[in-house]
Amino acid sequence: MLNKQADRSVRLPLRSEMTPRLLTAASFVREGAVVADVGTDHAYLPIYLLSAGIARSAIASDINQGPLSRAEANIRRFGLADHIALRLTPGLEGIETFAPTDILICGMGGELIASILEAAEFVRDPQTRLILQPMTSTRELRLWLAENGFVVTEERFAAEKEKLYVVMCASYCGVPYALTDADSYAGCGSDQPLFGEWLRRQIVSLQKQVNGLAKAGREDPRLNALVASLQERLDAYERSLS
């Protein structure tokens, strides 16, 4: 029987493999969820979620046999073969039959995540929770979600060494909406401790583009306005902390 009272941070298996990025993604999963972990690799997330008694079952999928074999070995090592199914499949293809309630897509580029969601009509269900952690193209993913009627309800950040990751929690609302340039870069994590650092990094990256244009004797008013808008948000965030 799974231990529903397990201490999620100390007593569970895989505590060394469950990095801040993965733990942040796991923190969005609802109690009693049927989890789909797309691009599972070692299956650390579903193993953790089942061991903690958070999820009641899981489907772990990958497009390549190598990662899926590693996942199978780990699942058997922790005695969870009866609770975690495995599928060799691209994206969410064929996953609908498992009726997942919470879908994790982590460690991929934002544009690839968007293409996986685009191909899976069944995710357009307000009751389905999407937990998305893009490695790149975060802005592009936010824009795709908005244009396709998915609302991002919360964002949390995870710091690992020199990198800062954002994890999004989203669901389908059916009504497309527009994001401003500043919204697409900043996101909606203004209540999070690392939001200021996230904004600073966006500003630094964009300022490099401004400086590059200036060296070439050019100027982009839209880009200048974007940097100014993000700086205003950062200033407001820092004032809120004082």
Q: Band the pLDDT of 12: cuts 50, 70, 90.
A: low
String of DSSP letters for 31-64? TTEEEEEET-TTTHHHHHHHHTTSEEEEEEEESS
> Which alpha helices (H) appear in the chain, and where do they start and end?
20-26, 44-51, 65-77, 110-118, 138-147, 181-186, 195-215, 221-241
Q: What is the pLDDT of the chain when averaged over all its residues?
A: 93
In this prediction, residues 185-194 reach a mean pLDDT of: 96
pLDDT of residue 13: 59
User: Where in the chain are the domains?
Assistant: 20-176, 180-242
pLDDT > 90: what percent of the chain? Answer: 91
Its pTM stands at 0.93
Under a CB-based contact definition with an 8 Å cutoff, are residues 34 and 57 in contact? Answer: yes
In this prediction, residues 116-135 reach a mean pLDDT of: 98
Residue pLDDT, tens place only, 159-168: 998 999 999 9
* Residue labelled with tokens 């074999």: 69
Which is more confident, 3 or 127? 127
Residue 5 has pLDDT above 70, yes or no: no
Q: How far apart are CA 12 and CA 6, in angstroms?
A: 7
Alpha-carbon distance values, 94 to 67, 71, 88 (Å): 18, 18, 10
Residue 10 has pLDDT above 50, yes or no: no
pLDDT of residue 16: 73
Fold designation for 20-176: Rossmann fold (3.40.50)
Residue 242 has pLDDT above 90, yes or no: no
Q: Write out the two tokens for 53.
A: 């008694």
Q: How far apart are CA 65 and CA 46, in angstroms?
A: 18
Residue 120 has pLDDT above 80, yes or no: yes
